Every structure is written in C-alpha cells, then in structure tokens.
Structure 1
Amino acid sequence: MTRAAAEPVSPIYIGAFDTPILQGRPSSWTTTECLGPFVLRQVPYGIRYLHATMRAVRELPGRPLETMLLTATLGPLRIDPCAGSEVELVLGPRDWSQPPVLFAVPGLEMLAEASPRPVFKRMSSGFK
C-alpha cells in the first residue's frame, strides 16, 4: 500500500533492492498511477529494501503551485517463500537521512542507446 499527503502527478515507481543504497537495477519493480495497493512480483527471497518515488504538486496559500519529489524507503525486509507480505510505503519530502534518488524516466535507456555518440577531434594545443 502506498500513501502520501499529496496526489501524484507522475507514475509512482516502486522497486526492491539488495541494499539500502539505490544502485543498479531493482530485483523487482512496478509502477502505479495512483496511491493505494501495489504488487511486486517475483521478488527474490532474502533481505530486500523497498524504495518508492513520485512527483506531486503542493499548493501553499498565496504562492504558485510547487512540484516536489516524494520518496519512501522501507527495510530491511525478509522475503520468505512461506509468508506473504503486506507493507505500507508512506511517501514524503526527502530529508538528509534518505539516500539520493534518481527519478526514473521510462524509455530513457532506449533513447540513450539509439542516439549517436558525439565525435571528438583531437586538437593541437600549439605547443611542441
């Protein structure tokens, strides 16, 4: 279950990682368009850390709408083959205690692979 003080204006990205540090690909992941129940399929057994992120809009009196990044971290969690697990991820503004988050952009990897690499020419410094 995901909860937050604001409604998402982006998909909610949820992933299971081997460590509390967000690096590499998650071992299992999902996205959802709204707060509430979610399912992570085929999460490997053992210790996992769940991370979630989304963008939301906050309205303050007398100020323009502000887009903010909300995150949640949960773990360590023991994933066991004999027990189902229900968790609650409460997304909120980031603070100093949370690991850095790179906001995922779907399809970015495919765009990076398809784009031509820049060609650099070796230039002389003028010194011999």
Structure 2
Amino acid sequence: MQKAVERAISIMWDRYHEPLSLDAMAGSAFLSRFYFSRLFRSSTGTSPGRYLTAIRLYKAKNLLLETDMTVTDIAYGVGYNSLGTFISRFTRSVGISPARYRWLSQHGIPQLSRTTEAGPPRRATLGGHLLLPHIDVPVKVYVGVFDSPIVQGLPAACDILETSGAFVLRDIPEGEWHLRAAAIALDDIASGPSLRRPLAVGAHDPIFVVAGADLEVDLELHPIGSFDMPILFALPELDKLAATGNGRPVRRDRRAATARMLHGAKV
C-alpha cells in the first residue's frame, strides 16, 4: 500500500499544474477515495489536498526566484484558477506575499517579528535531544514548533544546532503544536533560497502544550524521502528570528566551530 501513496505523490509532482481531484488521485492508486485519504494521511501526516497545495506553493516559490514570470502567470502555472486564492494561500503559508517574497530574495530578508497577543503570557518550554543520521557535510539544523503538520509560516519557537544534541524551545503558547526539524548543508544556506534542499528531516506526533509546562521530547531525523513534504518556509531565515528572543540564539562557540569545519571540509 505504501507504493500506492508513492505513486500518488509522484503524480502530484508531475501534474501539480493540472486540476487534480481526490477521485483522480485515489484512482491512480486503485483505491476508494475514503481509504486512499486515510492511507495517505497515515503515511505523510497530512491530507492529499494539503500535500498537493504544498507542492504547488513550493513550485511557485522557485518560479518567483528563478524566472521573470508575473505573479498572475505563476498562479495559473502552478494550478490555481484564482489569483486571489493563490496570493492568500501563499501569504499564509510562506509568511509574506508572492511579490514581497520575490523582492526580499533580491534585496535581503529583514529581521522577522511576530505580533504578541494582549493579556498575560501563558507559555511553556519544550526541550529534548535531537539525533542526526550520518551526514558527510557540515549542516545547520533548524528545529521549531508549528501550528500545522506542514512547515509553513513562522514557528511559535525555534532553535538552531549544528550537530546532534540538546535543543530548547521557549515561550510556546498553549495549544496543539507540531515539532519539526530540518538539516540543511551549510553550502546550501549560503546559496540562493531555491537551491536549498534539506538533507534530513524529523517530525513528532502533535504535542499538547499547557501553561507553565516543561516538556521533554527526543527527535530523530532521517534522510529525506518520498513521503516528506516540501518545506514552504525558508528555514535559513530562522537565524534572524532566533536572534530576536523568539528562539534561543545560536551560541558563539557553535558558530566558531562551524567556521572551522567549513575551512577544513571538502564539499
């Protein structure tokens, strides 16, 4: 049955610009739409429709960075028949509008910030140990909690590591959160956003946070595979978010160690 989900995902990547329906995707897997949806969610953590949306927005990000196509042409080119719907979903998922995303990619992304809610804070802390698979090149590992299984928008809290070890996410609001992590090669971080590809990713079951709790969760990353969804938020930009106090700042000794690794590494 896993092959059926893989086949459906392959079709999404190949035909994302077409009006793919749930019936069509289920038919490609030779399954009923109900059973296909349940199987797909158990394999990927999300619905077929949301997975397809993530692919379309991921493709749109690349087109914004790599072509001179208008936002309207990109919207229709990735499968949307409404410009307003495309702009709304892109902005909600990536954190900024398509036009703003293109402009910032050329002029630099400023410090990210998050509006704070009125009233007394009701926050929690989530810590644990993060384990990386064997990776031959120096990496940065971004770990954060999101309000969706899809890595999109700004995380409620984030931390940055360069190897396996302890992470801490502070000031997490009450509610249900999804812990996600991605390891990106340092060479990719220095390159354009469209060239960045996670080498390994990790996810945890939904975490229910209550006020004042100190939670502990271990997270093991695995090499990226066919079931892993594209990441919509440009993770290296979390460097700036972490430095604002919304996440734990990167320690200077880590940065120095990274510089030493880069000078001695053959990539």
* TM-score, normalised relative to structure 2: 0.33
Closer, same or farther in 2 for the Cα pair 1:10/1:106, shift >3 Å? farther
| 2:177 is aligned with 1:48 | yes
CA contact (8 A) 1:15 1:30 kept: yes
SS in 2 for 1:54: strand
Pairwise CA distance, 1:51 = 0.8
Closer, same or farther in 2 for the Cα pair 1:82/1:42, shift >3 Å? closer
Q: Which structure features the higher share of helix residues?
A: 2
- Partners in 2 of 1:107 and 1:93 — Cα distance? 21
Q: Name the Cα RMSD after superposition.
A: 2.6
- Partners in 2 of 1:35 and 1:77 — Cα distance? 21
SS in 2 for 1:105: helix
Closer, same or farther in 2 for the Cα pair 1:29/1:108, shift >3 Å? closer
**Identity of paired residues, percent?**
30
- Partners in 2 of 1:22 and 1:94 — Cα distance? 14
CA contact (8 A) 1:19 1:49 kept: yes
Q: Which structure features the higher share of strand residues?
A: 1
- Partners in 2 of 1:86 and 1:92 — Cα distance? 20
Q: Which residue of 2 aligns with 1:93?
A: 223
- Partners in 1 of 2:133 and 2:238 — Cα distance? 28
Q: Which residue of 2 aligns with 1:5?
A: 133
Q: Which residue of 1 aligns with 2:236?
A: 105
CA contact (8 A) 1:27 1:43 kept: yes
> Which runs of 4 or more aligned residues in structure 1 lie more than 6 Å from their structure 2 counterparts after TM superposition?
none
Unaligned runs of 5+ in 2: 1-128, 186-196, 241-267
CA deviation string 1:62-100 (max 9, x = no partner):
xxxxx9710001121101225321111101112233221
Structure-to-structure mapping, 1:44-83, within 5 angstroms: 44-55=173-184, 69-83=199-213
What is the total number of aligned residue pairs between the two structures?
99
Q: Compare relative contact order (CA 8 Å, sep 6+) and give the higher one, 1 or 2.
A: 1
* TM-score, normalised relative to structure 1: 0.65
- Partners in 1 of 2:238 and 2:203 — Cα distance? 24
SS in 2 for 1:40: strand
- Partners in 1 of 2:235 and 2:165 — Cα distance? 20
